[in-house]
Structure 1
Amino acid sequence: MNSTMNYPGLWFEDGDIVLSANPHVGDARRLFLVHKHTLSSYSPVFWNIFNEPSGVRAEDVDGIQAKNDVELLQVNDPASDLAELLQCLYYPTQMPFNFKEPTVNIDMGGLLRLCKKYDIADLAARVVNQLKFEWPTSLAIYEQHEARVRMLGLAHADAPGGQIDEKYLDDRFPEPASIVALAREFDIPELLPAAFYALSLISPRAKYDMYHSPIARQHPECAARLAMLTRSARWSLLAPADLLRLARGQDQLRSPTALTKMFEGRTRSADCSAGCDALLVALRRLAGDTHDILGALTYLRIYITEPDRAPKMKICRTCAAATCGVVATLRLRIWSSLPLWFGVPGVRWHQSNQNWPADQVR
Structure 2
Amino acid sequence: MLSLPPSNEAESYDGVPLVRMPDSAEDLERLLEVLYNQPMLRLKRFDPNTPHVVKPLLTLANKYDIQHLRKNIVHTLEEDWRQTLSEWDELEHYAEGKAKTCYRDLDQYREPEEFPDLHLPEAASAIRLARHCNIPSILPAAFYHLSRITIENDWDKTHVTHTNDHIPEYTELVAGARTARWDLVTREDFVCLFLGKERMKTMVDYWGKGGNSAPSHPHPGTNKPECDYKNWLKIWGVVERKCQQSSDVLKTLSDVDDILTSAEKPTMCYTCDEAVTTGLDDLRNKIWDNLRNYFALPA
> Which TM-score band (shorter chain)?
0.7 to 0.9
Give, in whole Å, the separation in 2 of the partners of 1:258 and 1:147: 29
The equivalent position to 2:274 in structure 1, one of 293, 302, 321, is 321
Contact 2:242 2:252 in 1 (8 A): yes
TM-score of the pair, normalised by structure 2: 0.75
Give, in angstroms, the shift of residue 212 of structure 1: 1.2
1:188 deviates by 1.3
Partner of 2:49: 103
Q: How do 1:262-277 and structure 2 match up within 5 A?
A: 266=217, 270=224, 272=226
Is residue 2:187 matched to residue 1:240?
A: yes
CA distance in 1, matches of 2:259, 2:105: 23
Aligned to 1:39: none
Q: Which amino acid aligns with 1:59?
A: P
Percent identity between matched residues is 25
Asked whether the 8 Å contact 2:127–2:139 carries over to 1, the reply is: yes
CA distance in 1, matches of 2:44, 2:268: 43
Q: Name the counterpart of 2:208.
A: 260
| Counterpart residue identity of residue 246, structure 2 | T
Matched, 1:202 2:149: yes
Whether the 8 Å CA contact 1:132–1:191 is kept in 2: the answer is yes
Q: CA deviation at 1:224?
A: 3.3
Please give the secondary structure, in 2, of the residue aligned with 1:137: coil
Residue in structure 1 matched with residue 68 of structure 2 by the alignment = 122
Please tell me whether residue 220 in structure 1 is matched to residue 184 in structure 2: no
Query: Which of 279, 282, 292 is matched with 2:248 structurally?
Result: 292
Flag the 1:229–1:125 CA change in 2: closer, same or farther, 3 A: same
Unaligned stretches of 5+ residues in structure 2: 6-14
- 1:130-165 per-position Cα deviation (integer Å, ceiling 9, x unaligned): 212322333333233233234434444544169996
CA-CA distance at 1:264 after TM superposition: 7.5
Number of residues of Structure 1 aligned to a counterpart in Structure 2: 275
Closer, same or farther: CA 84–141 of 1 in aligned 2, 3 Å: farther
Answer whether contact 1:170 1:230 (CA < 8 A) is retained.
yes
Given that 1:181 and 1:238 are in contact with CA atoms closer than 8 Å, whether structure 2 keeps it comes out as yes
| Counterpart Cα distance in 2 of 1:137 and 1:169 | 22
Answer with 146-155 or 333-342: which moved more: 146-155
Could you tell me how far apart the structure 1 residues matched to 2:225 and 2:278 are?
18
Q: Which has the higher strand share?
A: 1
Q: Counterparts of 2:284 and 2:91 in 1: how far apart (Å)?
A: 15
Q: 1:4-153 residue pairs with structure 2 within 5 A?
A: 54-60=17-23, 76-78=25-27, 82-83=29-30, 86-87=33-34, 89-93=36-40, 95-153=41-99
Q: CA deviation at 1:272?
A: 2.9
SS at match of 1:57: coil
Deviation at residue 106 of structure 1 after TM alignment: 1.0
Q: Which runs of 5+ in 1 are unaligned?
A: 1-43, 61-74, 305-311, 348-362
CA distance in 1, matches of 2:183, 2:18: 39
Aligned residues: CA RMSD = 3.8
Equivalences for residues 151-166 of structure 1 within 5 A: 151-160=97-106, 166=113
Q: 1:165 to 1:82 in 2, by over 3 A?
A: farther
Deviation, structure 1 residue 89: 4.5
1:173 to partner: Cα distance: 0.8
Secondary structure in 1 aligned to 2:25?
strand
| CA distance, structure 2, for counterparts of residue 313 and residue 148 of structure 1 | 34
In 2: Cα distance, 1:223 partner to 1:342 partner: 31
Query: Residue 114 of structure 2 corresponds to which residue in structure 1?
Result: 167
Cα distance, 1:251 vs structure 2: 1.2
1:136–1:191 CA contact under 8 A, matched in 2: yes
Q: CA deviation at 1:319?
A: 2.5
Q: Are 1:254 and 1:291, in contact at CA under 8 Å, matched by a contact in 2?
A: no
Q: Distance in 1 between matches of 2:48 and 2:266?
A: 38
TM-score (norm 1): 0.63
Is the aligned partner of 1:341 residue 2:297?
A: no
